[in-house]
Amino acid sequence: MHQKGTNPKKVLDELRIIQKHNQQYETGKILCSMCTKPHPIAKKAYTLFFESNLGDTGLFPATAQLEQETITQLADLLNCKTAEGFIVSGGTEANLLALTAARNQTQKAEPEVILPESAHFSFTKACNLLKIQPKYAPLDNNFRVKPYEVESLVNKNTIAIVATAGSAELGAIDPIESISEIAENNKINFHVDAAFGGLIIPFLPKNSPKFDFQLSGVTSITVDPHKMGMAAIPTGGILFRNKKMLNNLKTETPYLSTDSQYTLTGTRSGASAASAWAVFNALGQEGYRKIVRRCLSNTEYLVGQIHNLGFKLLCKPELNVFAFQTQNTKEFAEKLWKKGWCISYIPRYECIRVVVMPHIKRVHAKAFATALKTEKL
């Protein structure tokens, strides 16, 4: 830090120049991110509430109310009006809280959690922190976990089963209905990681698979407004069907204006909650349906182009994510990056993954298809 301060205008000018060196959503070349340009109202709401701290709700009761209303809207959307939870820092914290609650509730000496092989790496972190043994269940040809493999891993140490509704790598939706039955029959917690899919699947035009609290075995759900919800980054969400489960997360906070906290972070962004509240209310279900329809239509367009250009699609896309292969996929991915296209290369499937988020317009999809044609090996 310098001894003397700098003129604020100069500081901001410098920041503006620095920000230009980041990738910009507006170019339409970010195809590897599950986040997107937040909705314009998210920024306004964030600014209005940027000084409020949900870690001390006695000081910010109105922001706490906004958080509760946001959770209630999510609970309603996920088919359990009475579900309770929190706006947190993202899917990682949400998944960590779900496993923490399950671990504390079950009190097993050698806790295990059953995960699909496709589970997000946030569960590796959670297992590491909580000293839970992960047990991985294999996937079928469509990259969905096999329910009988999940069932075969159930034992007296199992504290929870996890499934994913919209996997980070391929957007795959596990057979949650079957796993819900397994969890219920065995009286085991069942956490659904819908960090990505939770704000897409309810808005699919047709055939949306059951993945939420309407399945009676589902006990908790991660759903992130900062992904397809278009809220500010970071805004995550965790919901529990049963309010009693929250007791397993409770930490007393004797000298604060509130007597307890339930989340991992102490100081929590009230601005994040306000941003989600604002986007939910501004868009409504109709608004989200339109956005999802556009993302799916651009995905369909690109999948058609991939097919026409002779690339090999890894599997039929379920959401706005697809993956493909070519002769030397890694080299091809590097070529695309050199041309400014930000795509993911997934080593374990040797494929390129493309996520078609709301910032991708048809003109960008067309430009990407042209680049694929030009750069084809």
CB 114 within 8 A of CB 150: yes
Contact residue for ligand 0PR among 34, 115, 273, 279 (CB under 6 A): 34
Q: Does 91 contact ligand 0PR by CB under 6 A?
A: yes
SS3 sequence of 210-266: CCCCCCCCCCEEECCCCCCCCCCCCCEEEEECCHHHHHHHCEECCCCCCCEECCCCC
With binding defined as CB under 6 A, does residue 120 bind ligand 0PR?
Answer: yes
Binding ligand 0PR (rule: CB under 6 A), the pick from 55, 90, 225, 358 is: 90
Answer for which of 70, 105, 164, 275 binds ligand 0PR (CB under 6 A) is: 164
Q: Least Å distance between CB 269 and ligand 0PR?
A: 13
Listed in sequence order, the residues at least 6 apart from 290 whose beta carbon sits closer than 8 Å to its beta carbon are: none
Binding part of the chain for ligand 0PR, among 163-171, 182-190, 257-265, 317-325 by CB under 6 A, reads 163-171
Smallest distance, ligand 0PR to C-beta of residue 91, A: 2
Comparison of 31 and 291: residue with beta carbon closer to ligand 0PR: 31
Choose between 60 and 368: whose C-beta lies nearer to ligand 0PR. 368
Distance, in Å, from the CA atom of 274 to the CA atom of 231, rounded to the nearest integer, reads: 9
Nearest-5° Cα angle at 115, 249 to 237: 40
User: Considering the rule CB under 6 A, would residue 357 count as an interface residue with ligand 0PR?
Assistant: no
Choice between 124 and 247, CB closer to ligand 0PR = 124
Q: Are 321 and 346 in contact (CB under 8 A)?
A: no
Helices 362-375/270-308 angle, 10° precision:
50
Cβ of residue 33: shortest distance to ligand 0PR, in angstroms?
Answer: 3
Among 70, 122, 263, 326, which residue sits at the site for ligand 0PR (rule: CB under 6 A)?
A: 122
3-class SS of residue 191: strand
Q: How far is the CB of 272 from ligand 0PR (least distance, A)?
A: 11
Residue ranges of the alpha helices (H) in the chain? Answer: 8-20, 40-48, 61-77, 91-106, 122-130, 147-152, 176-185, 270-308, 329-338, 362-375
Q: Which is nearer to ligand 0PR, 55 or 91 (CB)?
A: 91
Number of residues forming the site for ligand 0PR (CB under 6 A): 17
Instruction: Give the contact letters, 175-214, x = binds to ligand 0PR (CB under 6 A), - = no.
Output: ------------------x-xx------------------
Distance of alpha carbon 123 from alpha carbon 262, whole angstroms: 19
Q: Are 298 and 360 in contact (CB under 8 A)?
A: yes
Output 225 or 270, the one with its CB closest to ligand 0PR: 225
C-alpha separations of 331 from 141, 336, 374 in Å: 25, 9, 14
Select 196 or 288, whichever has its Cβ closest to ligand 0PR. 196
92 is a site residue for ligand 0PR (CB under 6 A) = yes
Q: Return d(Cα 103, Cα 98) in angstroms, integer.
A: 9
CA contacts within 13 A on the Cβ side of 162: 33
CB of 330 to ligand 0PR, least distance (A): 18
Please identify, using beta-carbon distances, which residue of 119 and 150 lies nearer to ligand 0PR: 119
Spatial separation of the C-alpha atoms in residues 180 and 285, rounded to whole Å? 26
Using CA atoms, how far residue 293 sits from 26, 81, 298, in Å, is 20, 26, 9
Q: Which stretch binds ligand 0PR (CB under 6 A): 32-40, 249-257, 308-316, 321-329?
A: 32-40
179, 217 Cβ separation under 8 angstroms: yes
- Minimum Å distance from CB 223 to ligand 0PR? 10
Quote the least distance from Cβ 304 to ligand 0PR, whole Å: 25
Exposed e or buried b for every residue in 158-185, given b needs 16+ CB within 10 A? bbbbbbbbbbbbbbbbbbbbbbbbbbee
For residue 243, the one-letter residue type is: K
Q: Which residue is nearest to ligand 0PR (CB)?
A: 91
| Residue 62 CB, nearest approach to ligand 0PR (Å) | 26
> What residues line the site for ligand 0PR (CB under 6 A)?
33-35, 90-92, 95, 120, 122, 164, 167-168, 193, 195-196, 224, 236
